[in-house]
Amino acid sequence: MQPAQRRAYGRRATPAVAVLITVLAAAGIGGCTGSDASPGTDNGASGDSGTAVSAEPGRYRTLPEACGAVSRKTLQTLLPGADQDDKAYDGQAAVTYDIDRRDGCRWKMETASGTRYLTIDFQRVVSYDPSVSDDDEATETYEKKAAAAHIPDATNTPSSSSSSSQSEGDNGSSSPGSNSDEPGKSPKGGKEDEADNGGKGDKSPGSPSAGSDASGGSDQSDTASANTAPRRLDDLGDDAFLNDQLITKDSGIHRDITLVFRSSNVIATIEYDQWATDKKHIPSSQELQENAQDLADELTGRLNE
């Protein structure tokens, strides 16, 4: 009897175990289903707010070749004294490691009345912050340059220009004028130091001392400070400024024109200098400024080609 009872008990236990397994399986399926549904609901609710949106890239992806960006006709106007096919108009290319990020060129023309130097530099600014566009990054870089040149209404202080210059040098290129051999100029070209001290120690272009020794040679526009003071320019790229400095403390006398303009995410810098050994003949401010602005107009066209 006992074996029979055990067999009967065993038969009765089998359905109970099956029911228990079924209940546990159903609970497991329900738990898995609930777990899967929860993340899906969260993803749907936060999908739009959690999506990272990259800032718009700049208009320019490449740069024009600097030494070929200026026409021979323009070079003859800015640097008179040689035939159109003179090798001096070929220019000296700047040392650069990425011509799509930075490129420059430098020209020098010697004449009996003095020497003229022309340097152009293209910088394509790229933002590595996805929340900052290339144009915004270029605008910040441009304003630092404007502040360093003491341009009115510049949005950055001159003290920030040093960090800007350092970051610009990290892109693997050197300034086209870094090997300047002009007398009295620093290795950087002389303008950074002069801009930092606001031209102190030099005779200002509009002062009587600057024009008193220049009888018969100075142009009348030098007496108007508005024509030579650092200022912004209209109708040239997206932003532009011009600086005009007359330097008389060196072995010779020279006028240095600096014009910087921004077009989208490209910043172009023009440095145009005229040196003279005869201090009775001050280089013409009006002529040099007009030449620099004509060149800037030509370069904006080359950027858009």
Percent of the chain with pLDDT over 70: 59
Q: What is the pLDDT of residue 22?
A: 53
Residue 58 resides in a domain: no
Residue 57 resides in a domain: no
**Domain extent for 46:** 1-51
- What's the average model confidence in pLDDT over 145-166? 68
Residues 137 and 241 in one domain: yes
Highest mean pLDDT among 8-17, 37-46, 150-159, 258-267: 258-267
Q: What is the pLDDT of residue 14?
A: 53
Residues 76 and 26 in one domain: no
- What's the average model confidence in pLDDT over 114-128? 95
pLDDT-derived band at 144 (thresholds 50, 70, 90) equals very high
Reply yes or no on whether the pLDDT at 295 is more than 90.
Answer: yes
Residues 95 and 162 in one domain: yes
Reply yes or no on whether the pLDDT at 159 is more than 50.
Answer: no
Q: What is the pLDDT of residue 226?
A: 65
Reply yes or no on whether the pLDDT at 15 is more than 90.
Answer: no
Low-confidence winner among 91-100, 111-120, 159-168, 264-273 (lowest mean pLDDT)? 159-168
Reply yes or no on whether the pLDDT at 156 is more than 90.
Answer: no
Residues 9 and 143 in one domain: no
Residues 31 and 107 in one domain: no
Residue 138 resides in a domain: yes
Residue 187 resides in a domain: yes
Residues 37 and 145 in one domain: no
Reply yes or no on whether the pLDDT at 266 is more than 50.
Answer: yes
Residues 45 and 124 in one domain: no
Residues 234 and 159 in one domain: yes
Residues 122 and 31 in one domain: no
Residue 61 resides in a domain: no
Number of structural domains found in the chain:
2
Residue 36 resides in a domain: yes
Asked if 253 contacts 247 with a C-beta cutoff of 8 angstroms, the reply is: yes
Residues 211 and 278 in one domain: yes
pLDDT-derived band at 237 (thresholds 50, 70, 90) equals very high
Residues 33 and 75 in one domain: no
Residue 122 resides in a domain: yes
Q: Measured at the alpha carbon of residue 256, what is the angle toward residues 253 and 262, in degrees to the nearest 5?
A: 180
Q: What is the mean pLDDT of the chain?
A: 72
Residues 123 and 253 in one domain: yes
Residue 132 resides in a domain: yes
Highest mean pLDDT among 13-22, 210-219, 234-243: 234-243
